[in-house]
Each structure stands twice: as structure tokens, then as C-alpha cells.
Amino acid sequence: MITLHWVYALMGAVFAGYALLGAADRSNPRRFTTAAFWALLALSMWAGDRIGDIGNGVLVLGLVAIAGFKGMGRGSGGVPLAERQARADRHGNGLFAIALVIPVTALVGTFLFKAFPAWIDPKQTTLISLALGVLIALAIGCTWLRARPIVALQQGRQLMDSVGWVAILPQMLASLGAVFALAGVGDVVGGIVRLAIPDGSLLGAVIAYGVGMALFTIVMGNAFAAFPVMTAAIGIPLLIHHYHGDPAIICAIGMLAGFCGTLLTPMAANFNLLPAALLELKDEYGVIRRQVGTALPLLCVNILLIYWLAFR
């Protein structure tokens, strides 16, 4: 049966490829530590289930040590603009079609593979379909563009290097969430937030969940970290168990309430501070200032949507 482990094996191969190509990239002044970072991720994908919890912890320490002590660099190179322009004129809009193969395969596979539960893990059809879509798009792309697969891997590596350690930030924040859960942070925060909820008020509980998601996201800079905490504190015990709300609606829209917080915080550096620097704005919070007027009304809408839709 094809399970998520096949996808992890593929990811491990891709990261191992990045490590090998990265180590050979002489234009990157930190090529060996950068390559070591991707090699550790390849190890995580391939052997994460075999090296034990402490082994994984040590692996994370290695990743953080490389990134934290400025071991990540990127090389120069890439295809020059004039060449890309000429290729764009030659290939036309078929380029968009290949890009569309991935989401279309992910969508179709998600439905189709349900019919083959013996072959493909029915719980993981989306991720498996996504990986399959990538392989199909690569096959079509390499054939049509007459490029060797190594070219795709090399280009992918350069993109990955420009993303850098930010690539594992969501996974790190999810793990921090797990430690917070173990330490009972959610209970403490939830206790504080719950103090603000009027007794027996469903609307009060929904507001506390939505506003709590946004506030906690502002503090943490990432809705990924706020979500497990607020959902464990208010979402699961109050909204889902006590008031019998629909978990899919509460969690999906609750996450988006958190995204409203992301628009408001300098902690979400790659969305709010990076573009301000990139566009050379004098006010480093200029982007956040433009987002306040959208984020606050949208937060109210999200809270009302949960209230109206989840408790029918």
C-alpha cells in the first residue's frame, strides 16, 4: 500500500539531492553548512521514525545550530533575464498549464484514490496526490522543455536556498506548540481567556476563541503556534464538546481569525517586515499600517461566521 512514507522517501531524496548539489556550489560561501542543513532534513524524512524521540531532538538541535549561527548561505547563478525572456516567448502559456498539473492532480487524486483503499492509504490521499502531481508535472515539463531532470533539481535547490532556514519555521512552531501543550501553557492562557467569557454565553466563547487566536498570533507571529493552544484551551473543550459545534468550521475559520493577527504583527517578519525592506519603505511598519483596516473588520466577520455556521 502506498502511504505517506513513500512521500517522505521522495522528500528525503529531494533534500539529499539539494545537499549534494549544494555542497558542489562553489559560489556559495557557506556551501558545506548549507548542504549539511538539507542533509539533516533528508535524514529526518528517511529515518525520522527509526532514530527515536531523542534522536529527532538532537537532529533539531543540529538544524538550529546551523541556522542560528549563520551557517545558511546561497550561491549566485541562475538563468539570465534575457534568456528567460526568450524562453518565455518561445514556450508561451503552456508554462502555466504545467504549473496547473500539480493542483489539478492533487484535487483529482484526492477524490479518485478513495476508490482504491487497498492500494493507497485513504487517510493521506491529498499529500500522496500532491507528490504524484509533482512527478507528473516534472515528467511533462522535462519532456516538453527538453530539460534533464537534474536541471529541475538544481533550480529547485536554488529556490530552496533562497528560502533557507525559514523552510522549517512552520514545523518548528508546530513543535513549540507541542511543548507548550505538554507544559500546560494552553491551560494557563485558556484559563486567563476563559475568565473573560461570560458564563453560558456561546457568543462570548466564540469571541474569546476568535480574538484569542488573533491576539496569540500577534504575540507568536504565526497562527500555526496559536492554533494548537487556543483550540486546546477553548475550541475543543468549550465550542466543540460543550456547545457541540462543527469542528471543521470552527477550526478552519479559527485559523483564518489567526491570519488576521498575522497581518498586524512585526513578529510575522517574512510577510510584514521583509517587503518593507524590499520596497525600501522609510516606515518599517508601513505594510502593517495598510493592513489594519482589512484585518480588524475581517476578524469580526470570521467571528460571526463561526457563530452563524458552526452551531446550526
Partner 1 sequence: MWVLLGIALIVAGFVLRFNPLLVILASAIATGLAAGLDPLTILAAFGKAFNDSRYVSVVWVVLPVIGLLEAHGLQERARGLIDRMRGATTGRFLLFYLVARQISAAMGLISVAGHAQTVRPLVAPIAEAAAEKQAGTLDEEQRDEIKAWAAATDNVGVFFGEDIFLAIGSILLIKGLLEQYGIMLEPLQLSVWAIPTAIAALLIHGFRLWRLDRRLNAQGKAAEDAA
Residue 157 CB, shortest distance to partner 1, in Å, is: 8
CB of 278: closest distance to partner 1 in angstroms? 5
Helices and strands of the chain, counted as H and E runs: 15, 0
Compute the least distance from the CB of residue 203 to partner 1, in Å: 18
Residue 244 binds to partner 1 (criterion: CB under 8 A): no
Cα 147 from chain centroid? Answer: 29
- The residue type at 175: S
Question: Using the rule CB under 8 A, which residue among 36, 39, 138, 214 binds partner 1?
Answer: 138
Task: Give residues 57-86 in contact with partner 1 (rule: CB under 8 A).
Answer: 57-61, 63-64, 67-68, 78-79, 81, 84-86
The CA–CA distances, whole Å, from 218 to 123, 161, 224, 259 equal: 33, 28, 11, 9
CB of 13 to partner 1, least distance (A): 10
Q: Closest separation between CB of residue 29 and partner 1, Å?
A: 18
Q: How far apart are CA 40 and CA 312, in angstroms?
A: 48
Candidate residues 6, 23, 175, 311; the one interacting with partner 1 per rule CB under 8 A: 175
Q: Copy the grid coordinates of residue 201.
A: 454565553
Angle between helices 286-309 and 247-262 (to 10 degrees): 170
Q: Which residues contact 280 (CB under 8 A, 6 or more apart)?
A: none
Q: Nearer to partner 1 by C-beta: 134 or 205?
A: 134
Among 174, 194, 203, 311, binds partner 1 (CB under 8 A): 174
- In the list 123, 196, 243, 244, the residue contacting partner 1 (rule: CB under 8 A) is 123
C-beta atoms surrounding 146 within 10 Å: 7
Per CB under 8 A, the list member of 75, 190, 228, 245 interacting with partner 1 is: 228
Task: Find the shortest distance in angstroms from Cβ 253 to partner 1.
Answer: 6
Q: Could you say which of 21, 40, 120, 134 contacts partner 1 (CB under 8 A)? A: 134
The answer to whether residue 11 forms part of the interface with partner 1 (CB under 8 A) is: yes
Contacts of 196 (CB under 8 A, 6+ apart): 204, 208
Q: 19 with 45: CB under 8 angstroms?
A: no
2 belongs to the binding site for partner 1 (CB under 8 A) = no
Among 185, 194, 204, 311, binds partner 1 (CB under 8 A): 185
Q: How far is the CB of 171 from partner 1 (least distance, A)?
A: 5
Residue 312 near partner 1 by CB under 8 A: no
Q: Compare residues 209 and 227 and give the one whose CB is closer to partner 1.
A: 227
CB of 130 to partner 1, least distance (A): 5
Contact between 251 and partner 1 per CB under 8 A: yes
The Cα 225–Cα 176 span in angstroms is 7
Q: Give, in order, the Cα–Cα distances in Å from 105 to each of 11, 36, 98, 117, 138.
A: 18, 33, 11, 18, 13
Q: Count other Cβ atoms within 10 Å, centred on residue 90.
A: 8
Identified binder of partner 1 from the candidate list 2, 23, 30, 55, rule CB under 8 A? 55
